[in-house]
Structure 1
């Protein structure tokens, strides 16, 4: 999968990076980090890559939130059927919106963003937490590379 993501970014540049970051934030199991590193290795401007990866990833999280909020019954049941989903719901019930501080984490992060929609976390708070964590994660990755 990582070679395909690198090819996607190479073929489509910032649009490819943004698209990969968007899809990586949904429940589709791909790594937006691989696309981000590929963009850097291809010579895309690091700050521009960070901004567009963050925008795409945050937009994908908003889709998850929307699915949870407006398809509450369907996605609430889906969350309950997976281990990560049940954990996400428990964390939101226990810690409220603060649980979103772990939305950047693998495996649990995507279900947390869906569960936030189901729980009807305020949209402004959701965007603030999720977007800042996305920027932080890519900034840390940029520093590491």
Structure 2
């Protein structure tokens, strides 16, 4: 049974990683970190893991941004579990810190609210993309580095 599971993961590794990373940045409270660690432990190419996870997570944030830009706060509140208060709090943070705040879309709990608020505020998509992708990339580089550094000791 374990061999079947291992074979499935190895055969669909990057597709699964992309889907997990995408969904982690949308409506599902899912983390992609475990998948990244698993693929690294299986010997998959770290650079490919970083890029697939970063692109998937970035595109998930773009989906959240799009829903925000369409003004669908009802969808955001209902399916993303982001309250009106969280959106208002994030709006205040944008007023204080500007677009730089988008780097933190990788953070659990508030990252989706940041991406959604970026859409609600109709921030320029190029600026949104730049900061969000940098944040997502930094996240997966860090996870990969820590995982690989720890594996050396085992």
TM-score normalised over the length of structure 1: 0.84
1:7–1:119: structure 2 CA closer, same or farther, 3 Å change rule?
Answer: farther
- Structure 1 window deviating more from structure 2 (81-90 vs 111-120): it is 81-90
1:98 alignment counterpart: 100
1:7–1:126: structure 2 CA closer, same or farther, 3 Å change rule?
Answer: farther
What is the aligned-residue RMSD (CA, Å)? 2.4
Aligned-pair CA distance for 1:32: 1.4
2:69 alignment counterpart: 69
Q: Is the 8 A contact 1:10 1:16 kept in 2?
A: no
Aligned-pair CA distance for 1:75: 4.9
1:3 alignment counterpart: none
TM-score normalised over the length of structure 2: 0.79
Aligned-pair CA distance for 1:73: 4.7
1:7–1:129: structure 2 CA closer, same or farther, 3 Å change rule?
Answer: farther
**Higher-Rg member (1/2):** 2
2:40 alignment counterpart: 40
Q: Which runs of 5+ in 1 are unaligned?
A: 1-5
Alpha-carbon distance between aligned partners in 1 of 2:86 and 2:9, rounded to the nearest angstrom: 29
- Higher helix residue share: 1
Number of residue pairs the alignment of both structures matches: 140
1:84-123 per-residue CA deviation (whole Å, 9 max, x = no partner) reads: 4332222123322122132221111111001100001100
